[in-house]
Amino acid sequence: MSELKAEGIVAGHGATTVLHGVDLTVPAGSTTAILGPSGCGKTTLLRVIAGFHRPDAGRVVVADRDVFGAGLNIAPEHRGLGYVAQEGALFPHLSVADNITFGLRRGDPGRATRLTELLDLVGLPREVAGRSPDQLSGGQQQRVALARALARRPRVVLLDEPFSSLDAGLRASTRRAVADALAAEGVTVLMVTHDQDEALSFADQIVVMDAGRILQAGSPLDVYTAPADRVTAGFLGDLVTVVGRAHDGRVESALGTHATDSAAEGAVEVALRPEQIVLHSADQPGIRTGAFGTVRHCDYFGHDALVHVALDDGSEIAARLGAGGQVPRTGERVTASVTGSVLTYPL
């Protein structure tokens, strides 16, 4: 059963069309992330669903109720959706408590209980209730924004780049707290992001979008390991590509012969993740498999390192080394071999 459905959404700003017939289904209880580069239309799609942007065509269904379609355009306040904007959009003239209870009716006797419930839910101490939003850190503001959106118990919550304004340290902990709160409330979540790590770690369904179209939808593992095309593969992480020749489920390239699931035949582009490449020092006796190359330079990140290697046939590749591995020096001779299956795309 789907909690949220968009069909054939066409939308734009003035004369430019931003969404070219987008179809999206968010299963009940799932967390779906729309992943795409800036300007791909993902925020517009979210705003269409929320009711802030009127599409030119299409249909939007929330919890089995049509909210937009032919001759129908339900106002945002009647769509029963929670919405967390980029940077929270907290009302600066209201306290944290007034922000959170903004959507609850003034006479509602359950207001006070719901407030403490929500503060606990998003992991904020109860003392912050009386503070004004500008006295909170970015991460706390984001939690208040989420509590505010959940106050009316919506069945679906929309998150627009909710963590992009936070610095790296705060991002992981805020993301965890938000994910826990959403899971505890049991709501269906649709998030928009341009950060593939965020999408992969936060969501159980990933929808990849580019230039106003959806390229692929599936589980994080599926879209990471079996991207539908070259562009999608590039969004989801670093990609190493070399030219090769495919025949009958096997592909030959400078890196050797590998198994492939793709059906392409003939000249192909072979794509794989840097962590699939294993490097050995060429001086090491006994190693004669794989392709020879020279280390160009090394990006060292602490927890891992990306080693850029020029193969002897002229191809450029990159290999990811774990923290334990010895980082090779620039100019060192190495051999590169591949683990796992690779992706091939017709050239």
Partner 1 sequence: MTSTSTLSRRGTGGIGPVAISAVVVAGICVLPLLVILATATESGLGVAAQQVFRPRVGELLGNTVSLVLVTTTACVVVGVGAAWLVERTELPAARWWRLALVAPLAVPAFVNAYAWVSLRPSLTGLGGAALITTLSYTPFVFLPVAALLRGLDSRWEDSARSLGLGAWGTFAKIVLPQVRPALLGGALLVALHLLAEFGVLAMLRFPTFTTAILDQYEAAFDTTAGSVLATVLMVLTALVLTGERFARGRVSLARIGSGVRVQPQRVPLGRWAGPAIVGLTTWVLLSLGVPLYAVGHWLGAGGTPILSPALLGALSSTVGLALTAGVLTTVAAFPVALLLHRRRTLLTESIERITYFASSLPGVVVALALVTVAIRWIGPLYQTPFLLVIAYAILFIPRAMVSIRAALAQAPGGLLEAARSLGDSPWRATRRVLLPLIAPGLLSGFAMVFLATCVELTATLLLAPTGTTTLATGFWAASDSLDYGVAAPYALMMILVSAPLTWLLLSNSTKDTR
Map residue 70 onto helix, strand or coil: coil
C-alpha to C-alpha distances, 136 to 51, 117, 201, 216, nearest whole angstrom: 29, 19, 26, 38
Residue 327: what residue type? V
**x-or-dash pattern for partner 1, window 222-241, by CB under 8 A?**
--------------------
Smallest distance, Å, CB 89 to partner 1?
A: 4
Q: Are 203 and 32 in contact (CB under 8 A)?
A: yes
Q: Does 212 bind partner 1 (CB under 8 A)?
A: no
Question: DSSP string of 271-284?
Answer: EE-GGGEEEEETTS
Q: Which of residues 271-310 bind partner 1 (CB under 8 A)?
A: none
Q: Does 148 bind partner 1 (CB under 8 A)?
A: yes
How many residues touch partner 1 under the rule CB under 8 A: the total is: 36
Q: Which is nearer to partner 1, 65 or 250 (CB)?
A: 65
Smallest distance, Å, CB 192 to partner 1?
A: 14
Residue 61: what residue type? V
Across-strand partners of 4? 26, 62
Smallest distance, Å, CB 108 to partner 1?
A: 12
Q: Which is nearer to partner 1, 73 or 173 (CB)?
A: 73
Q: Which is nearer to partner 1, 93 or 288 (CB)?
A: 93
Q: Which is nearer to partner 1, 9 or 90 (CB)?
A: 90
Q: Name residues whose C-beta falls within 8 Å of residue 25's C-beta, 6 or more positions apart in sequence.
A: 2, 4, 5, 6, 217
**x-or-dash pattern for partner 1, window 36-55, by CB under 8 A?**
--------------xxxxx-
Map residue 152 onto helix, strand or coil: coil
What φ, ψ does residue 285 adopt, rounded to 5°? -70, 150
Q: Which is nearer to partner 1, 11 or 311 (CB)?
A: 11
Q: Which of residues 73-132 bind partner 1 (CB under 8 A)?
A: 73-78, 81-83, 85-87, 89-93, 102-103
Q: Are 274 and 284 in contact (CB under 8 A)?
A: no
100 vs 118: CA distance, rounded Å: 8
Q: How far is CA 42 from the centre of its chain?
A: 11
C-alpha to C-alpha distances, 69 to 23, 66, 246, 295, nearest whole angstrom: 14, 7, 47, 58
Q: Which of residues 54-73 bind partner 1 (CB under 8 A)?
A: 54, 56, 71-73
Return the sign of the alpha-carbon dihedral for residues 194, 199, 200, 205: negative
Smallest distance, Å, CB 300 to partner 1?
A: 28
Q: Which is nearer to partner 1, 81 or 240 (CB)?
A: 81
Q: Which is nearer to partner 1, 22 or 321 (CB)?
A: 22
**Number of neighbouring beta carbons within 10 Å of residue 19:** 27
Judged by CB under 8 A, the stretch of 5-13, 32-40, 192-200, 301-309 that binds partner 1 is: 5-13
Counted residue by residue, the chain has a size of 347
Q: Does 12 bind partner 1 (CB under 8 A)?
A: yes
Q: Which of residues 14-33 bind partner 1 (CB under 8 A)?
A: 14
Q: Which is nearer to partner 1, 101 or 241 (CB)?
A: 101
Smallest distance, Å, CB 161 to partner 1?
A: 12
Q: Are 115 and 129 in contact (CB under 8 A)?
A: yes
273 vs 340: CA distance, rounded Å: 10
Q: Which residues of this protein are in contact with partner 1, per CB under 8 A?
A: 11-14, 50-54, 56, 71-78, 81-83, 85-87, 89-93, 102-103, 145, 148-149, 151-152
